[in-house]
Amino acid sequence: MAALDLRAELDSLVLQLLGDLEELEGKRTVLNARVEEGWLSLAKARYAMGAKSVGPLQYASHMEPQVCLHASEAQEGLQKFKVVRAGVHAPEEVGPREAGLRRRKGPTKTPEPESSEAPQDPLNWFGILVPHSLRQAQASFRDGGRRRELPGGLGSSCSSRDISKSHLEVDPECGLTEKRSGGRAGLQLAADIASLQNRIDWGRSQLRGLQEKLKQLEPGAA
Amino acid sequence: MLEGAELYFNVDHGYLEGLVRGCKASLLTQQDYINLVQCETLEAPFFQDCMSENALDELNIELLRNKLYKSYLEAFYKFCKNHGDVTAEVMCPILEFEADRRAFIITLNSFGTELSKEDRETLYPTFGKLYPEGLRLLAQAEDFDQMKNVADHYGVYKPLFEAVGGSGGKTLEDVFYEREVQMNVLAFNRQFHYGVFYAYVKLKEQEIRNIVWIAECISQRHRTKINSYIPIL
């Protein structure tokens, strides 16, 4: 009897896992398409403005992120990720920001509660009169950033600095895009993908646990 | 390259461009900037017309940069015209086209920004086919269609604007680059003038743009788009 229950539980878990995987795959393809679009628009902007006008010379090496990612513990020990726009906080909410994951190389000093001015739109790094392709690039990255999966899935063992550093090292120019994708709505789906990945990992560990239990029960029943 | 890049760019772009970028990258304070900009340089005369803006926010830097370019272009045009002879015959149309192109591109890029129409008008170079009526009309334009209406008054620009969009997805900048290449290539048909040097440099710049585009297409795996560069024949 217990074996039957376990099997049923196993089946439902597998179904949920497969559903999550499918969702993840779908979001990943959309994300990749948008990011590719963004990079192409960036190349077009570079063609129109000149190769040196669109590159790391245009921004300072230290900057404040427009959007932050907050990690919080939900039920069953799973981590949930929430996207919060910088500068819109009430002073009491500023505290947890240090535990939050930053998507940019931002200074990690304690943010002052009084600093409520919104960070500058990254498009203005390139001037006021920017070509249409650059705006398109920003829009693509904003939408694409929504679905961006942080590398390797997110376990609670990853520190925020590791994530931002490794992500930027993997693709040095990606830092440029990260800085440009400032939309809150944009990063929300990125958070969703990360949560999905977490759920999948958790589901797999549950699956293994259940399979062990089943193995123990089966010989006993026989 | 990441941290030190701001320190080396002025090798290619000139002292004053370097100052502006230094300000943007927060390497220089406003006071530093004001002190440094008052040294005598090749570009100093152009700066005198534009140095009323002391607040260096994004909009003013952009205005400064564009006014500077406008002064340079006008001085260059006057120089070519005074030189006379074949050089003027070759260079003046090229520079007039450059002035008109800048007017169109500034207008196009200023849609949806905080640049006012009056400010926009001060950035247009005061020569070229569009000067003065076309520029006045252009200053009032609020979207691409109105700009196209202005261009339709000019026989040279009407076909260019019609080529925008289309099957190849050409932008206005692409179309203008093509026309510029045509004019620069024709400069080599005349003999004993200085315009060939200018044309050569501009064509080299286009070549560099083409190469960078092809390299980007390859690295982003968009091999189908590789051929949308402007061939120089």
Q: What is the pLDDT of residues A151-184, one digit of tens each?
A: 333 333 333 333 333 333 333 344 344 444 434 4
Is B104 in contact with B172 (CB distance < 8 Å)?
Answer: yes
Q: What integer best gives the mean pLDDT of chain A?
A: 68
B208 falls in which pLDDT band (50, 70, 90)? very high
Element (H, E) at B229: none
CA distance B44 to chain A (A): 22
| Residue A101, pLDDT above cutoff 90 | no
Instruction: Verify whether the Cβ–Cβ distance B59 to A61 is below 8 Å.
Output: no
**ipTM for the predicted complex:** 0.77
B75 falls in which pLDDT band (50, 70, 90)? very high
Average pLDDT on B116-124 reads: 90
pLDDT-above-90 percentage for chain A: 9
Chain B residues whose C-beta sits inside 8 Å of any chain A C-beta:
1-3, 5-6, 9, 12-13, 21, 24-26, 58-59, 61-62, 65-66, 105-106, 108-110, 113-115, 171, 173, 208-209, 212-213, 216-217, 220, 222, 225
Instruction: Verify whether the Cβ–Cβ distance B220 to A52 is below 8 Å.
Output: no
Which residues are registered as beta bridge partners of A67? Answer: A85
Mutation target vs B (from A39, A47, A62, A138; most B CBs, 10 A cutoff): A47
Query: Cα–Cα distance between B184 and A64 in angstroms, integer?
Result: 45
Average pLDDT on A103-128 reads: 56
Q: Name the nearest CA neighbour of A177 among A165, A166, A168, A164.
A: A168
Q: Does A139 touch chain B (CB under 8 A)?
A: no
Residues written for chain A = 222
- Tokens for A109? 């000093």
Rg over CA atoms, chain A:
21
| CA A13 to each of CA A7, A195, A199: distance values in angstroms, whole numbers, following the listed order | 10, 17, 11
Q: What is the pLDDT of residues B153-198, one digit of tens each?
A: 999 999 999 988 877 778 889 999 999 999 999 999 999 999 999 9
Query: Cα–Cα distance between B233 and B231 in angstroms, integer?
Result: 6
**Residue B41 one-letter amino acid:** T
| CA A12 to each of CA A17, A124, A207: distance values in angstroms, whole numbers, following the listed order | 9, 50, 10
Average pLDDT on B104-127 reads: 90
Is B99 in contact with B77 (CB distance < 8 Å)?
Answer: yes
Instruction: Verify whether the Cβ–Cβ distance B25 to A47 is below 8 Å.
Output: no
SS3 of A101, please? strand
B78 falls in which pLDDT band (50, 70, 90)? very high
B84 falls in which pLDDT band (50, 70, 90)? confident
Average pLDDT on B104-114 reads: 89
CB atoms within 10 A of CB B97: 19
Number of Cβ pairs closer than 8 Å across A and B?
Answer: 74
Query: Cα–Cα distance between A25 and A5 in angstroms, integer?
Result: 30
| Residue A148, pLDDT above cutoff 80 | no
